[in-house]
Amino acid sequence: MYYFIVNPNSHSGRGRIIWDQLHQQLLLRGISFQYCLTRYSGHATKIASEASLLGIDSEPVYMIAIGGDGTIQEVLTGITDFDRVVFGYIPTGSGNDFCRSMELPFDPMESLEYILKAERIAPMDVPYLICGEKKSHFGISTGIGYDAGVCQEVLATPLKKVFNRLGLGKLIYLFIALKQLIFISPGKMTVTLDGENTFSYDHVYFTAVMNQRYEGGGFKFCPDARPDDGQLDMILVEGVGKLKLLFCLPTAFFGKHTGIKGIHIMTCRDIHIHSENALPVHIDGESGGIRQDLTVSIEKKPLKIILPVV
Ligand SMILES: Nc1ncnc2c1ncn2[C@@H]1O[C@H](COP(=O)(O)OP(=O)(O)OP(=O)(O)O)[C@@H](O)[C@H]1O
């Protein structure tokens, strides 16, 4: 059985328009399905957790998230029993880092086609982040510091809606990234990988822990990250001047930043990050608050995901 979880608000309302077209298609083809539109932030987690119970080991529920990267994060967080669910994704957001990394089509109708065929089902690692009492799954990445600060300010600005409507969503990221770079003071951070190797740095801009190659709307920060290798990839940027950083960042669009001094890329199974200062945190581009400590690991069992046939 198909269960669609739709964020009608994604990409400033584009999600609802696309869902109306997909809904029409499903009815025309006589597909049996259920669906629910999210009504508030966090709702997709609740829906996913309830919809998971509809599946059983021998007949899992095909749970399809329709929205942006933030909707994927919420849906994954709601799935706790990975045997009951096969996950699928139809993009209607603005960032599209999940599609970019997983090489999925950006076109929602094309996505519906391969999802309904379900000819290729593959395992996908599901990392999680623990902040205090709260455990959140994510699909792409989580980060602390500069990258998260930019995400948080973009989310808060009313200009995002205006720029999205004009099809210029990326410009607002660029503008805020430049503005924050002027004012940011890099700080002390310690990372502990797999509970044994600890590294400390004095002037860190940000650390991102990635399940996929891309984040931030197309930055290929961890070019070798794979969502099915049972590993997390981490990028930490420290000790470079602001002007140099400004010139380095565009090279990350092509994954050409990896040899630059001060850019560290490492892999691990779990990681603890401690920052001397409380800093912004993002989870798949959504706000994770202001924190000093993050612990990130991967669920032991992978989730099954529907992919297009290659
Ligand atoms: N009905 C709703 N009204 C307002 N916000 C919602 C609603 N449903 C979900 N949300 C929130 O919208 C946020 C953003 O959603 P999502 O990431 O899917 O879209 P987007 O921001 O347009 O895409 P992207 O992350 O790819 O740029 C999520 O954090 C989610 O909690």
Ligand 1 mutation pick, 14, 16, 37, 41, max ligand atoms within 8 A of CB: 41
Beta bridge partners of 295: 130, 272
- In the block, tokens 């009492």 appear at 133
Taking residue 248's Cβ as centre, other Cβ atoms within 10 Å add up to 17
- The H or E element spanning position 22 is helix 10-28
CB 214 within 8 A of CB 140: yes
Q: What band does 10 get if pLDDT is binned at 50, 70 and 90?
A: very high
Query: Can you tell me the distance from the alpha carbon of 261 to that of 254, in angstroms, rounded to the nearest whole number?
Result: 17
pLDDT digits (tens, 9 = 90+) for 165-197: 777 777 788 888 899 999 999 999 999 999 999
- In the block, tokens 């990221």 appear at 173
CB 15 within 8 A of CB 7: yes
Centroid of chain to Cα 136? 11
pLDDT digits (tens, 9 = 90+) for 200-234: 999 999 999 999 999 988 899 999 999 999 999 99
Residue 157 confidence (pLDDT) above 90:
no
The residue nearest atom 7 of ligand 1, judged by CA position, is 40
Angle between helices 169-183 and 146-156 in degrees, nearest 10: 130
Query: Can you tell me the distance from the alpha carbon of 216 to that of 146, in angstroms, rounded to the nearest whole number?
Result: 11
**CA 257 / ligand 1 centre spacing (Å):** 30
Query: Can you tell me the distance from the alpha carbon of 17 to that of 282, in angstroms, rounded to the nearest whole number?
Result: 28
Residue 113 confidence (pLDDT) above 90:
yes
CB 74 within 8 A of CB 287: no
- The predicted structure's pLDDT at residue 56: 78
Closest by CA to 85, choosing from 94, 95, 75, 74, is: 75
- Domains by residue range for the chain, with CATH: 2-118 (3.40.50.10330), 134-298 (2.60.200.40)
The mean pLDDT value for 264-275 works out to 97
Task: Specify the ligand 1 atom closest to the Cα of 169.
Answer: 27
- Across the beta sheet with 61-67, the strand order is 33-37, 2-6, 61-67, 85-91, 303-307, 120-124
Q: Is the ipTM of this complex over 0.90?
A: yes
Query: Can you tell me the distance from the alpha carbon of 74 to that of 80, in angstroms, rounded to the nearest whole number?
Result: 12
CB 288 within 8 A of CB 109: no
Query: Can you tell me the distance from the alpha carbon of 98 to that of 91, in angstroms, rounded to the nearest whole number?
Result: 9
Residue 163 confidence (pLDDT) above 90:
no
Task: Specify the ligand 1 atom closest to the Cα of 38.
Answer: 8
pLDDT digits (tens, 9 = 90+) for 47-92: 999 999 987 767 899 999 999 999 999 999 999 899 999 999 999 9
Q: What is the dihedral of CA 64, 67, 69, 73, to 10 degrees?
A: -50
Tell me the whole-structure pTM to 2 decimals.
0.93
For every residue of 206-273, DSSP letters joined together read: EEEEESSS-BTTTB-SSTT--TTSS-EEEEEEES--HHHHHHHHHHGGGT--TTSTTEEEEEES-EEE
- The predicted structure's pLDDT at residue 171: 79
